[in-house]
Amino acid sequence: MTEIIDYDEMFRGYIFVDESGRGNLAGEMIYTGLKIIGDVSFADDSKKLSPKKREDMVEKIKENSEYFTVVTTSEEIDAFGLSAMIKKSLEQIINNFGKDEKYLFDGNKKFGVENPNLETLIKADSLVKGVGAASIIAKHTKDLLMLEHHEKFPHYNFKENAGYATKQHIEAIKQFGFCAIHRKSYKIKELENFENEKMVNLLF
């Protein structure tokens, strides 16, 4: 018989960490650390939820937790590299809650963070309610920012693609060029020979 693991019990008392926007071609990367102080048993992996469902959950999660969110801009990612900014985000969360706390981070890499209290778990956002709750805050924060960017740069339909490298998004870049929130250091095969000469005014 396969043993059923209670991950919520295994990681009780931890600070839970997840992100949104790490793989996006545009916009901010969001990392959220979360400490449960009430009931977040209703939480789930944010990727499984619609924007409306995340919006319905996010305030209840905030009422039942202490949380800290780190926002990294596309300019910072281009300047310092993605891995360096992930490390910085994790370290800021650890500094906020304290180095002696235990942390659970969704994934399988620590990105050079040397704190021995940082642990990783693949698919933690689906397996652990606290990580799912952190993912919902991070994704909701990302959603709101992308709606603001959509108002400024409607050509790219950020309200629908959220900054991900969808076919429609890539075609919009080919037509209009990059805008100020695009991560120009990202290498996209479909844009390998693209010359950014159009709508340079959007860079300012």
* Cα–Cα separations (whole angstroms), residue 202 to 24, 32, 156, 158: 19, 30, 12, 15
Please answer whether residues 58 and 140 qualify as being in contact, where contact means their C-beta atoms are separated by less than 8 angstroms. yes
- Reported as a single tens digit per residue, the pLDDT across 14-39 is 999 999 999 999 999 999 999 999 99
**Confidence grade of residue 46 (pLDDT, cut at 50, 70, 90):** confident
Q: What are the φ/ψ torsions at residue 17 (nearest 5 degrees)?
A: -130, 130
- pLDDT of 190 above 90: no
- Reported as a single tens digit per residue, the pLDDT across 73-82 is 999 999 999 9
What per-residue confidence (pLDDT) applies to 62? 97
Q: Can you tell me the distance from the alpha carbon of 140 to that of 49, in angstroms, rounded to the nearest whole number? A: 11
